[in-house]
Amino acid sequence: MDIQLKRGLLDVCVLAAIKDEDSYGYKIIKDLGPYIQLSESTLYTILKRLESAGMLTVRSAEHDGRLRKYYHITDSGLARIEDFKEDWKEIMTVYSFVTKEEGND
C-alpha cells in the first residue's frame, strides 16, 4: 500500500481503537491486528503525532502494581474520524468511476 495513504489510515485506525473507551498500547495493536499490520515503533510514532496534534490525551494509571499509559480521544480526534468518513465517501465515488471501465470488459 502507498506509504502516505497507509500513514493516514493508521492515524484514523488508532483513533478508532480508542473511540469507545480509553485503551493502552498493547490492546490497540491487538484490536487492530485483524485489520491492519502495525508494529510497536510505528504505533509509538503515531501516538506521539496524535498527541501533539491534540487528538488524544495520555494519562498514566496504576495497573497490577505497575504504570500503564492510557490514551483518551479528544473532540478533535473524534472530528478527525468524521472527516475521514466524509473523505472516504468521495474516494468511493472516484473509485467507482475509475473501475467503471474495467467492469464493462
- Which residues bind to another protein, rule: CB under 8 A? 24-27, 30, 39-41, 44-45, 64, 66-69
Task: Output the CA–CA distances (angstroms, integers) from residue 101 to 88, 90, 95, 98, in the order listed.
Answer: 21, 18, 11, 7
Of 4 and 104, the one with the shorter C-beta distance to another protein is 4
Of 67 and 94, the one with the shorter C-beta distance to another protein is 67
Q: How far is the CB of 95 from another protein (least distance, A)?
A: 31
Of 41 and 99, the one with the shorter C-beta distance to another protein is 41
**Dihedral angle of Cα 90, 94, 97, 100, to the nearest 10 degrees:** -100
